[in-house]
Structure 1
Amino acid sequence: MIGQWWFLAPTFALMLVALVLPGVFWTRAGTRSALVAVGAAPAFTFGVVTVLSVLYSRASIRWEAATVLPVLGMCALLGALTWFGLHVRRASGGAWRPGMPLAEAIGTRVPLGAVQRAVRGATWGAVALGFALAALPMLAGADPADPVQQWDSTFHMNGVHAILLGGDASPFGGLHELYGGREVYYPTGWHAFVALFATPQTVVPASNVSSLALMAVWVTGAAALVSVLTSSRTAVLAAPVVAGLMPNMPADALTMYNQWPNATGTALLPGLMGLVVLVGRRFADDWRSRPPGRALARRAGQTVFLMVGALGLIGAHPSAVFSLLALLAAPLMAALVGLARSCDWQGVRGRAAGIAWSLVAAAVVVVPLVVLASPKIRAMGKYPRQGVSWSEGLAHMFVPFPPFAQTMGMTWWTIVQFVFLVAGLVVVAGLARLAVPGREDTVPASPGGGRMPVWP
């Protein structure tokens, strides 16, 4: 079966380029970590795709590769110019002027040391290994020309076909042909993206290739997230490998059941979350060391990027945004409370800033509750389905429940994951008591007394 996939390698490569290139330079303009930049970039791409799908529908512009890919390319070009301009400004000490020789403006690049090169190579090698492990079952056992035998995947492939025929990818009615002509809301991020690489005759293989592309996004995002949460090389190297072996995602979500929109939101989540943590740390440092206006201005560009990325999560599947908030709610609230407490409540400006941060903290709690109470969300919650007990529902937090045959190997792998989860919680709880504020580009000193190398 693997040989049949080689013919789709160009499609796979083009999908990866379209996922990464539009956003990676914007991220690199504000962070030294290439891993975080690549991990967060796909969410930005889906955000742009979501915005374009709505605008094109309103302007009666047909949704196709010829009208969309040039815009994504323009995003990449503008991001590259921004990255280059900021690099030149930093390298020249902010004294760059027209007419300055390019070599002088760029400055001398310090070559990487042997250890740094080894760390980068090992990290990207682990990402490649994680992707290979995730993709191997599908490559070895599936024909790319065969549709997944699930009702949900059939619906989504029909959605791609409808976009190709109708030229409308808007989430507000783009899939009307699947609803008897009624214009209903449905997140079309995945459908719109796949339609850029498919024809009415190649919807099935293009959809199957998108599963491989999302696997790559998933393992890269997992490595990026862990790289900003810990300085442990072992953890960062293990993250993409473990992510590639998870039974719920990607094995079930992208191989067996192929619930593509939901899987897309899940795949985008870790990379964007890593960037959120990184930007949050830097903003907190800026707030404590600089005037408030300058602190806000320094992170304005990254904030816009995160907002576009969050829109990408919504465009893929709105549940991904709730997952993002649920995972970051506790640290976000702690950070907001810390910022409020750090304000000078005796002065007028300090009191105003403290009240503002308190209101933001309240909004973190109130806004999701208001959204959950909206008629559309409540209608989704009232969809008739067989319920589960509280014990089973809570158990899903700790033990995977993929719809696979319960073989001895699957049982043991479930037990291993549970043990890893418990061990990880214990380690994180222990590290939390020893944690000290750090930076993304340096990590705590090694036992030998030197500084550990920068993560890629």
Structure 2
Amino acid sequence: MSAWLAQTPALVTALALLVIPGLPAGLMLRGVSAVVRLGASIGVSLGIVAASSLVAPLLGMRWSLLPVGIVSAVVWAVAAILRLFGRRSAVIAHVRTGLGVWLAIAAAFIGWVVILMVGIGSPDDPSQLYDGLFHLNAVEFVAATGDASPLHMTMVLPGHSTSFYPTLWHALTSLVLPVAGDVVAATNVVTIAVIALIWPVALAAVTRVVFPSRPDAAIWAPLVGFAFSVFPLGFLNWGVLYPNLIGTVLIPILIAAVLLAFAPAVSWPERTLRILVALAVAAGTGLGHPSALLGGLVLLLPFALWRAWEVARRGGTATRVAVGAGVVVGFVAFVALWSKANVTTHEWLPTQTIAQATGEVIFLSPVGRSTGLLLGLLVLLGIWRVCRDRLWWVLSSYLVSVVLYIASAWLPVLPLRSFLVGIWYDDTTRVAALLAIWGLPLAALGMTLVVDRLRALWRAGRRVTAVILIAVVAVLAATHLLAVRNDLRYMRDVSYRFDSASQGLSPDEAALFERLETELPEDALVIGDPLTGAGLLFAYTGHDVVFPHVTGRYGADAALLARTLVEGDAAVCDAIENLGVTHALDFGDTVLFQNHYTTYDGLHHLGESSILTEVDRVGDAALYEVTGCD
């Protein structure tokens, strides 16, 4: 616990970065509740960070708080001007946020902080999963190059001047890095901040906007989030999916912002501000991960069609023709964008029957997770209420996520399946997270019906019945603890395990990194099998490595060394000279992922090589210097 307490300044920094840049714009929104303003502030903040990462290289500035401050100042000025013009418009009624919402968000925040601290273990425990290697090194790459632009993430493409990769996560984490002290701690702190703050606020905000006549639903939305296993904890146990995580938590805020932008009876300054807020949130969502933005847009399609229908129904012939043409053009453009963004790999194939996939949707426990018994019932109650209120677009939007999940989990027609879910790499886990976007607000709505019934029973004097119902709900809620326990167990035993049995980096290897930070010369270039954790030398020390990730385009010389370095023949020495390799790491044969891309067999058993001399060792982790290629 003392290690986590020492990271309190870093956590405060991360939370400040998530709120302060966009706070003035959020506060200037009128006619919305305070929790919606907070959600908008967070969305705009991440949009500002994303935009700043693009602007900084254009201004010749290194990545730091300065470009964030410059972009923030511009956003604040625009928001202030629009608010000034908006004062002349009609007064908009104040929308109150009850104390219950803030207490629920505070409880959810504390709950997620505790869960994540227990699951991660220590701020210095790195993710031991395949993608963790890339993301930890990418944060160091941003810090070392001073460039967080998504157009310049060339870490795995040596020699390239441009390459697109969504870098919002890495840009944000690199800003926390100076306070946290190292890449691993900064990453873990940002993980806690993103999940514990954004996810509860996002759920409360979208629920408040979508169900304005049921304000109490916003109280339950942050709390029912603990019952959905796949997201966010599942993203820490699969991947690890940091960019998808930060993009997906923003989807509810994006939906809320779009709904506010298209609300009726709003003055032009206020509508302009709301549109700009929605665009900022969209920028943050898209540069968090493009699949998250497209996921948010596809969930908004029913709302867009409903609004188009309302406008056409109330307008004349010319309006209907214009709306019809706009719908057709917009739909064609969306399908084209959807197809262009497809990154299908056919690596993950459907594994379930349609009955299994449908059952998981009904219980809202997708991807083979432990099935809790309360959440699905609450969703059904919420659907019933939505149908009674004739909010058909809400039901349709939820059905979109259901169709996408069933297609991913079951659909045997692979070309059609890949068209539908290819933007998520055909990965059912990523697709499953979309079920939470509407499923949890519907569950929160259902919980308000349960509470209303309890109040009615209590007031009617049927208190024994009320107590029995409370007990039943509590027991059903407790069934979801099994999934939380399973996630925590996997985090401790696999994802963040940091001991001699770790599947990636071990304490001995990290201890060797600590020594090498000062022992290696500044111009050292180190090679090692990235799957053993050797590639994390870059994240831990800043010293260059040949393979910062498993996949990439490292060139023919690097590929030759990966296969045959240990042989030490003339071709190996030529490749070493061409690349400038000075040292090699051998971390044994334990790998974090079964390699099926590039062969690194030549980077093992390096003590047998005639061209390498051992210069340092901690346990089984050894550093060798190239000495036999003169």
Q: Same fold (TM over 0.5)?
A: yes
The answer to whether the Cα contact below 8 Å between 1:130 and 1:242 also exists between their aligned partners in 2 is no
In 2 relative to 1, CA 81–280 (structure 1 residues): closer, same or farther, beyond 3 Å?
Answer: closer
The answer to whether the Cα contact below 8 Å between 1:225 and 1:273 also exists between their aligned partners in 2 is yes
Which residue matches 1:19? 18
Partner SS state of residue 30, structure 1:
coil
Deviations 1:380-425 (A, max 9, x none): 113533443562666665533367xx6xxx43x2x32222222221
The answer to whether the Cα contact below 8 Å between 1:23 and 1:45 also exists between their aligned partners in 2 is yes
Unaligned runs of 5+ in 1: 94-109, 287-294, 346-350, 436-445, 447-456
In 2 relative to 1, CA 390–72 (structure 1 residues): closer, same or farther, beyond 3 Å?
Answer: farther
Unaligned runs of 5+ in 2: 394-451, 453-630
The answer to whether the Cα contact below 8 Å between 2:25 and 2:76 also exists between their aligned partners in 1 is no
Q: Which of 257, 263, 266 in structure 2 is aligned with 1:281?
A: 263
1:298 and 1:201 map into 2 onto residues whose CA distance is: 42
The aligned runs of 1:300-311 (5 Å cut-off) are 300-311=272-283
* Paired amino acid for 1:171: P
* Paired amino acid for 2:333: V
Partner SS state of residue 60, structure 2:
coil
Tell me how far 1:68 sits from its aligned partner.
Answer: 2.6
2:389 matched to 1:431?
yes
Which residue matches 1:140? 118
In 2 relative to 1, CA 401–57 (structure 1 residues): closer, same or farther, beyond 3 Å?
Answer: same
In 2 relative to 1, CA 334–150 (structure 1 residues): closer, same or farther, beyond 3 Å?
Answer: same
2:227 and 2:81 map into 1 onto residues whose CA distance is: 37
The aligned runs of 1:1-400 (5 Å cut-off) are 1=1, 3-32=2-31, 33-65=33-65, 67-71=66-70, 73-75=72-74, 77-78=76-77, 81-82=80-81, 85=84, 120-141=98-119, 142-174=121-153, 176-182=154-160, 183-199=162-178, 202-215=182-195, 216-230=197-211, 231-254=213-236, 258-282=240-264, 285=265, 299-345=271-317, 351=318, 353-374=319-340, 377-378=341-342, 380-382=343-345, 384-389=347-352, 391=354, 397-398=361-362, 399-400=364-365
Tell me how far 1:203 sits from its aligned partner.
Answer: 1.0
Deviations 1:94-120 (A, max 9, x none): xxxxxxxxxxxxxxxx9x9xxx6xx62
In 2 relative to 1, CA 83–340 (structure 1 residues): closer, same or farther, beyond 3 Å?
Answer: closer
Tell me how far 1:310 sits from its aligned partner.
Answer: 0.9
The answer to whether the Cα contact below 8 Å between 1:134 and 1:245 also exists between their aligned partners in 2 is no
In 2 relative to 1, CA 281–41 (structure 1 residues): closer, same or farther, beyond 3 Å?
Answer: same
Partner SS state of residue 70, structure 2:
helix
CA RMSD of aligned residues (A): 3.1
1:252 and 1:420 map into 2 onto residues whose CA distance is: 22
Deviations 1:140-198 (A, max 9, x none): 34201111221112211111110101111111222x12334444211111111111111
The answer to whether the Cα contact below 8 Å between 1:63 and 1:167 also exists between their aligned partners in 2 is yes
Partner SS state of residue 208, structure 2:
helix
1:132 and 1:307 map into 2 onto residues whose CA distance is: 31
In 2 relative to 1, CA 55–395 (structure 1 residues): closer, same or farther, beyond 3 Å?
Answer: farther
2:360 and 2:288 map into 1 onto residues whose CA distance is: 23
Tell me how far 1:335 sits from its aligned partner.
Answer: 0.7
1:274 and 1:170 map into 2 onto residues whose CA distance is: 27
Scaled by the length of structure 1, what TM-score is found? Answer: 0.75
Partner SS state of residue 247, structure 1:
coil
In 2 relative to 1, CA 150–225 (structure 1 residues): closer, same or farther, beyond 3 Å?
Answer: same
Aligned residues: 385
Partner SS state of residue 22, structure 2:
helix
Partner SS state of residue 316, structure 2:
coil
Scaled by the length of structure 2, what TM-score is found? Answer: 0.56
The answer to whether the Cα contact below 8 Å between 1:245 and 1:251 also exists between their aligned partners in 2 is no
* Paired amino acid for 2:118: A
* Paired amino acid for 1:425: I
Higher mean Cα deviation, 149-158 or 78-87? Answer: 78-87
In 2 relative to 1, CA 330–88 (structure 1 residues): closer, same or farther, beyond 3 Å?
Answer: closer
In 2 relative to 1, CA 26–384 (structure 1 residues): closer, same or farther, beyond 3 Å?
Answer: same
2:359 and 2:288 map into 1 onto residues whose CA distance is: 27
The answer to whether the Cα contact below 8 Å between 2:61 and 2:67 also exists between their aligned partners in 1 is no
* Paired amino acid for 2:163: V
In 2 relative to 1, CA 255–37 (structure 1 residues): closer, same or farther, beyond 3 Å?
Answer: farther
2:114 and 2:293 map into 1 onto residues whose CA distance is: 29
1:263 and 1:396 map into 2 onto residues whose CA distance is: 22
Tell me how far 1:257 sits from its aligned partner.
Answer: 5.3
1:382 and 1:434 map into 2 onto residues whose CA distance is: 35
The answer to whether the Cα contact below 8 Å between 2:386 and 2:392 also exists between their aligned partners in 1 is no
The answer to whether the Cα contact below 8 Å between 2:22 and 2:48 also exists between their aligned partners in 1 is no
Which residue matches 1:418? 376
1:154 and 1:265 map into 2 onto residues whose CA distance is: 20
In 2 relative to 1, CA 310–80 (structure 1 residues): closer, same or farther, beyond 3 Å?
Answer: closer
Deviations 1:231-288 (A, max 9, x none): 2243221001112442122222257754110010111111221122122223xx35xx
Which residue matches 1:100? none
2:299 and 2:351 map into 1 onto residues whose CA distance is: 23
1:192 and 1:271 map into 2 onto residues whose CA distance is: 20
In 2 relative to 1, CA 69–297 (structure 1 residues): closer, same or farther, beyond 3 Å?
Answer: closer
Partner SS state of residue 373, structure 1:
helix
1:201 and 1:13 map into 2 onto residues whose CA distance is: 14
Structure number with higher helix proportion: 1
In 2 relative to 1, CA 74–190 (structure 1 residues): closer, same or farther, beyond 3 Å?
Answer: same
Deviations 1:289-314 (A, max 9, x none): xxxxxx65652232122112211111
Q: Which has the larger radius of gyration?
A: 2
Tell me how far 1:225 sits from its aligned partner.
Answer: 0.6
Greater RCO (CA < 8 Å, at least 6 residues apart): 1
2:117 and 2:110 map into 1 onto residues whose CA distance is: 9
Which residue matches 1:104? none
The answer to whether the Cα contact below 8 Å between 2:49 and 2:168 also exists between their aligned partners in 1 is yes
Partner SS state of residue 389, structure 2:
helix
